[in-house]
Amino acid sequence: MEETIAGPEAAQIPQQRGESLLETAVRYAEERHWDVFPGAWLEAVDGVQRCSCGDASCPAPGAHPTRPDWATQATGSATVARRMWQKQPTASILLPTGRTFDALSVPESAGFLALARMERMELTLGPVTLTPDRRMQFFVLPGASVKVPELVRKLGWSLASLDLAPLGEGSYVAAPPTRFGSRGAVQWACRPTPANRWLPDAEELISPLAYACGRDK
């Protein structure tokens, strides 16, 4: 069952309920063919949600890798994913970028502005996540991290001047319904559907994203 929350620019964010992390991780691998790997998890300590890493000031409590070789742990097999989450059912769901997709990460305010602009332009979007630390990640075809600096330069910007980060090989995103401590859960700004199985190229989205990030400065 999903609950829809109204956001800025009339964007709708489905919130997953009643589905375990294990079931969701398996579904991502099985239905979307995304690689997944389990990250840290939350533990209640004196009534407070703490990250399993033990760092009281963890910047992403319950939503980061637990080992340096996390990339080798990622799997696209639903069977292996099920086995990993059975060992730690509350582990966060992390998706490595640079494999089946890259991601373009922007501030939430710029993301909503870009979504409204993309809708007017009738662009076809891939999935988009909204994180509790107020970032949006737009899923695009792999290779974006290499292309984006030059694409942004052609638009008259420098990547360093915009809060726009391409995430490719060696990076990852946290997937819904992973929680960031007491700050809340990652949600879908644009959820995965059969219609957006084929991802857009970064080149298709970069103009409205760069414009929105420039306006958001």
Q: Give the span between the Cα atoms of 141 and 125, in whole angstroms.
A: 11
In the chain, what are the domain boundaries?
21-216
The token pair at 70 is: 């996390």
Contact (CB, 8 A) for 170 and 176: no
The DSSP H or E segment spanning 139 is: strand 135-140
Burial (CB count <10 Å: 0-12, 13-18, 19+), residue 18: exposed
DSSP 162-198: SS-EEE-TT-EEE-TT-B-GGG-B-EEEE---GGGSS
Q: Which residues of the chain have pLDDT under 70?
A: 1-18, 217
Strand partners, 107: 135
Question: For residue 160, what pLDDT is reported?
Answer: 85
pTM of the model: 0.89
Strand partners, 165: 105
Provide the mean pLDDT of the chain: 89
Question: For residue 80, what pLDDT is reported?
Answer: 97
Question: For residue 6, what pLDDT is reported?
Answer: 35
pLDDT per position as a tens digit, 132-190 = 999 999 999 999 989 999 999 999 988 888 999 999 999 999 999 999 988 899 999 99
Question: For residue 199, what pLDDT is reported?
Answer: 95
Q: Give the span between the Cα atoms of 120 and 208, in whole angstroms.
A: 11
**Using CA of residue 96, residue 100, residue 102, residue 105, what is the dihedral sign?**
negative
